[in-house]
Structure 1
Amino acid sequence: MSEGTRIDSWLWAARFFKTRSLAKQAVEGGKVQVDGSKAKPSKTVQPGTELEIRKGEQKWTVRVEALSSKRGSASIAETLYRETEQSKAARESAAENRRLGRAAMPTPDHRPNKKERRDLQRFRRDHEGDL
């Protein structure tokens, strides 16, 4: 059997997830694909394995470059993988769209007072199914 590192442990060491249990939940939930197919947390990865990782709105496509089951500094974690050019471009494009979307949203000039808060709650309650 070839040497490798568990995928949940590698994702934690590469700093895609804050804890190993979060990495395990992501793998179990289908948020991580190994070479295009769903995997279990105990799946071993070797250098050259391609991973597709979804976390919230972000999506990475990376190729495993090195193995580690110990979490190190961020600079060391970056050496464990190489992100594809298409993945980088897509993430930067999505970040730019989110930034532009926030810039287009109106910002209130003050916090709502008690009456305005109650009016908002009443409006949301009455129009709950409309959204």
Structure 2
Amino acid sequence: MADSARVDAWIWAVRFAKTRSAATEACRAGHVRINGERAKPAQRVRSGDEVRVRVAGIERIAVVQQTISKRVSASVAATCMIDLTPPPPPAAERELVPQRDRGAGRPTKRDRREIERLRGRGGPPH
């Protein structure tokens, strides 16, 4: 294969992004880093580079093994990188977000203060 490829094409080819345009937008939004530096969509990626991509709130970390610019099967894409992404925390350890009942309307001032206190941003309790 080639010795370098565009980073947006590589992200799309190894299936970090669903579409090429989504990969390009991630680069423009600053969600892609190559060796710690923000990457533009046309920046070249080479073997050995560390690529960090933030997709759907999850940071994916990979070391480029092989540069590709065409989308391939998932099994072939897995051989083109070393995935260093840490596993997600178990469901029991994830942060709980309070949910309001559907149709309950806007929170009252008292409800809002309770929510802020739960999130750790509230003032002293009354």
Which residue type is aligned with residue 92 of structure 2? L
- 5+ residue gaps, structure 1: none
| Structure 1 residues 56 and 106, CA gap change in structure 2 (3 angstroms) | closer
Structure with the bigger RCO (C-alpha within 8 Å, sep 6+) is 2
Give the total of aligned pairs: 112
Q: CA offsets, 1:44-101, max 9 Å, x none?
A: 11111111111123112210001111111111111111023xx33xxx2x331xx115
CA distance in 1: counterparts of 2:41 and 2:28, whole angstroms? 7
More helix by share: 1
Q: CA deviation at 1:105?
A: 7.6
Q: How does 1:1-131 map to 2 (within 5 A)?
A: 3-84=3-84, 87-88=85-86, 92=87, 94-96=88-90, 99-100=91-92, 117=103, 120-122=104-106, 124=107, 126-127=108-109, 130=113, 131=116
Q: Normalised by the size of structure 2, how large is the TM-score?
A: 0.74
Q: Once the two structures are aligned, what percentage of the paired residues are identical?
A: 32
| Structure 1 residues 46 and 105, CA gap change in structure 2 (3 angstroms) | closer
CA RMSD of superposed structures (Å): 3.0
- 5+ residue gaps, structure 2: 117-126
